Homo-oligomer: A and B are copies of this chain.
Amino acid sequence: MFRSVSSTNIGMKMSEFESADQRRSYLEKKLNIKLGNVKKGLIDDIKDIHCENLIGAITLPLGVAGPLKLKGECVKGKFYIPLATSEGALVASVNRGCKAITMAGGAGVYAYKTGTTRGPVFFTGSLEKSKAFYIWLRKNESKLAEIGESTSSYLRLIKIDAKTLANYAFVRFYFDTADAMGMNMATFATDKIVNYIEEQTKIRCLSIAGNYDTDKKPAWINFIDNRGIKVWAEIILSKKILKDVLKTNASEFFDVWLAKCMLGSAMSGSMGFNSHFANVIAAFFAATGQDLAHTVEGSLGITTAKVLSGGDLYFSIHIPSLMLGTVGGGTNLKTKKEALSIIGVKTSLELAEVLAGAVLAGEISLLASLEEGLLAKAHKRLGR
């Protein structure tokens, strides 16, 4: 295990090159490697790329599941779901779920915008000052909203939560960032608000991101008080569909769900009472230009099942903190734009509803596979 890899001939800093081509050539020469495919992958214009020290691009296979019939508040109709992944069996699994759902008449999907959150931490110096600070925040909410909203016409402050701890105060700003995922917008707005707060109160902000947001870490505040957009999806699968498409039955499906999503999750101290939200979300995020690190928020949530009379099955998923958008970030990149166009929606709420349906499809299929003992066989056939 103690093999040392010595790369002492590396010298130049990656930031010192003027272009991707120069940087890439240097690496090829210095490390005696070929980066031709990475070069080939660079389809986008430099102006659309927000990635420093660029050398090219990686590629990730894109598959499509569906059609998936959805009956949402925002979206109605049949949709194809783009999923970018190198994990075999994933698209096939979601695809099978789509088939079952569509045959069953379509999934009910709902999305609600809680808001993109930024949670700075302030150092007040004492409990007395923390309390006064809290009161000041409550009194000046409209002014703070005004200041934050002045940074962008797309941004609206929804609400402010604050909690004090010793000589600190944690403040959680909730922003409606229209159709952008909105972390940049939220950060700018919060920055301006914080400057004003510091001026007025003389209380110093230690960090604009106090981990009270909580961004890209699994945190119960995101689950209980939500973050971004929260979604729900449900479907009733008839006994026949369960049998013909999913090779299972309600009663045994329910037993697997209970043992795994409920009891197994409790035994392991999990924040995700589900099968594999993260699989579908990561693949969907990669396809549609979302921030991949937000897969973390997406892994939180609960899958619910209930056996109905006649052997039908009620099935539902809930994701309390989905961070995504249809504009900004990686959504501008060419292949992501194309993937988004396969879905055809315009707003972040619509995109969230579609994703909710896709996650529902993935959950149904995986749980059915597990019930039938198919997981290993599927991965064998499709995974290597």
Contacting residues, chain B, for A34 (C-beta < 8 A): 338, 341
Does A4 make an interface contact (CB < 8 A)?
A: yes
Does A128 make an interface contact (CB < 8 A)?
A: yes
**A316-B127 contact given A8-B78, A163-B267, A255-B206, CB 8 Å threshold:** yes
Contacting residues, chain B, for A163 (C-beta < 8 A): 267
Report the count of interface residues on A (CB-CB < 8 A). 186
* Interface hits, A341-384 → B, CB 8 Å: 341-342, 344-347, 349-350, 370-371, 373, 375-377, 379-380, 382-384
User: Do the beta carbons of B64 and A53 come within 8 Å of each other?
Assistant: yes
Contacting residues, chain B, for A221 (C-beta < 8 A): 224, 267-270
CA distance A342 to B29 in the complex (A): 11
**From B89, B206, B278, contact of A256 by CB (8 A):** B206
**From B2, B6, B64, B347, contact of A23 by CB (8 A):** B64
Does A311 make an interface contact (CB < 8 A)?
A: no
User: Do the beta carbons of B52 and A63 come within 8 Å of each other?
Assistant: yes
- Each complex incorporates copies of this chain amounting to 4
**From B184, B190, B215, contact of A384 by CB (8 A):** B184
User: Do the beta carbons of B99 and A127 come within 8 Å of each other?
Assistant: no
Contacting residues, chain B, for A83 (C-beta < 8 A): 51
**From B27, B119, B255, B382, contact of A50 by CB (8 A):** B382
CA distance A207 to B370 in the complex (A): 5
Contacting residues, chain B, for A282 (C-beta < 8 A): 291-293, 295
**A212-B31 contact given A58-B60, A291-B87, A338-B38, CB 8 Å threshold:** no
Contacting residues, chain B, for A110 (C-beta < 8 A): 127, 131
Q: Nearest 4 pairs between A and B by C-beta?
A: A220-B269, A86-B330, A217-B272, A211-B264
Query: Would you mind naming 29 contact pairs between A and B with Cβ atoms under 8 Å apart?
Result: A6-B76, A27-B342, A38-B338, A42-B61, A50-B88, A51-B88, A57-B60, A58-B336, A60-B60, A86-B330, A86-B333, A87-B291, A87-B293, A126-B234, A166-B306, A166-B314, A167-B306, A168-B304, A183-B379, A188-B376, A206-B259, A217-B277, A218-B271, A219-B265, A219-B268, A221-B267, A221-B269, A269-B269, A278-B295
